[in-house]
Structure 1
Amino acid sequence: MSHDHDDFASEPVKGLPERPPEGEHILWQGKPHWWALTRDSLNLYWVAVYFVVLAVWRYVTLMDQVSAASAFRASFPFIILGGIVCAILLIVGYVQARATVYTITNRRVAMRIGAALTVTLNLPFTQLRNADLRLHRDGTGTIALDLMGNTRLSYLVCWPHVRPWVIRRTQPALRCIPDAEKIAHLLAEAAEARVSTPKVERHSAAATVAAE
């Protein structure tokens, strides 16, 4: 008997809570690169350096009081603890990336985010003021979305899929995606096409006569 279970098997379309309406189609889907997400959003390098500094500090303060071997034994637990913390961060980053699906359609950006508490953000192009690309040397990058109007999102609920340290007005972000520059161009072209499309409103003839 198989025990495999797909938490998102109920999704009618991968990454979306419901099927796109008529006229809307998916242009791109992707997810964060797990290593880049761990490195950038969970500050893996800084955490590793922090524990190395603690170990070195402990060694230096003891080396003039005890033998070098004893000083090393006293400082080595910091290295072990740092390795455990970094391993936990790697697991968290991998799980977060695996549970995430970013979707760009010809009308909106959708973000299915969250490993424990899953939410889906639907961000129509008409609500976007600006999109900002931060590109890394390895080709991954983050596209932060600045929202118009009174749209407010929780920084904690959206983390780590947000622009770092912009808390007062949370900017959801496609974090650490591969080929970020290419995706940013695709997003810009789709948003420009959508916003420049004239909106036609339909009114009944009776309402028009009544208005006259």
Structure 2
Amino acid sequence: MNHDDFKFEPVRGLPEALPPGEVILWQGAPSPWRLAREALGLYWVAGYFALLAVWRVGVSSTTEPFGLAMAHAIPFLVIGAVACSVLMLIALIQAKATVYTLTNKRVAMRIGAALTMTLNLPYTQIANAELDKRKSGHGTIAFELIGETRFSYILCWPHLKPWRMRKTEPALRCVPNAARVAEIFAEAAETRLSEPQIERVADIQQIAAE
């Protein structure tokens, strides 16, 4: 049976239909493998259990035959394999539940596997964007927000710039072809910010009367 948990969305990745004049320029999601490596520390966990296995073999080999000492490392390798498999599963679930969207007016991020939410970041509220690109072409684009706007680090993890907890910076994590995505964002943001801001005459008259 083909089941779509997000079938209720009027537009994929967005909680409501696009208003008139807004168009989608790009949509994407994190690479599960890169997310596991960079956000979940897959290599660090694998390396930790590998070191434990080497240490156990070294200790056992001082009192036991080398073949038996090697066998003593098996439990550490098994536990390490299970831990890495869990991290990969988490990364796959996160990537499947995530949709990053760039429109001509905002960055939208549908994130969260258990608790799904959508972050809307208008270009007018983004002070700066930083690209962290890898050799593979994947990368993370973090957004520094204007003013005191903050998002919960726990609720938004791992879709944030790492270790920025006091003033969190939402991020498009581990996206393929990150340089091109950054170009699309830069062009759209520049166009949006250069548009004249038109205030309604009724609002201006009301302010003048007060």
Same fold, TM-score > 0.5, yes or no? yes
**Identity percentage of aligned residues:** 53
- What letter is aligned with 1:37? L
- Three-state SS of the structure 2 residue aligned to 1:167 is coil
TM-score with structure 1 setting the length? 0.95
Query: How far did residue 4 of structure 1 move?
Result: 3.2
Aligned to 2:97: 99
Aligned to 2:82: 84
Aligned to 1:124: 122
Aligned to 2:197: 199
Q: Map residues 131-170 of structure 1 onto 2, 5 A cutoff.
A: 131-170=129-168
Gap change, CA 1:210 and 1:126, over 3 Å in 2: closer
Query: How far did residue 211 of structure 1 move?
Result: 3.2
Distance 1:107 1:24 in 2: 7
5+ residue gaps, structure 1: none
Distance 2:108 2:163 in 1: 22
- What letter is aligned with 2:177? D
Gap change, CA 1:88 and 1:22, over 3 Å in 2: same
Query: How far did residue 209 of structure 1 move?
Result: 11
Query: How far did residue 61 of structure 1 move?
Result: 1.1
Gap change, CA 1:137 and 1:205, over 3 Å in 2: closer
Distance 1:73 1:34 in 2: 33
Gap change, CA 1:49 and 1:211, over 3 Å in 2: same
How many residues align? The count is 210
5+ residue gaps, structure 2: none
Aligned to 2:5: 7
CA RMSD between the two structures: 1.7
Aligned to 2:62: 64
- What letter is aligned with 1:52? A
- What letter is aligned with 1:56? V
Distance 2:56 2:170 in 1: 41
- Three-state SS of the structure 1 residue aligned to 2:12 is coil
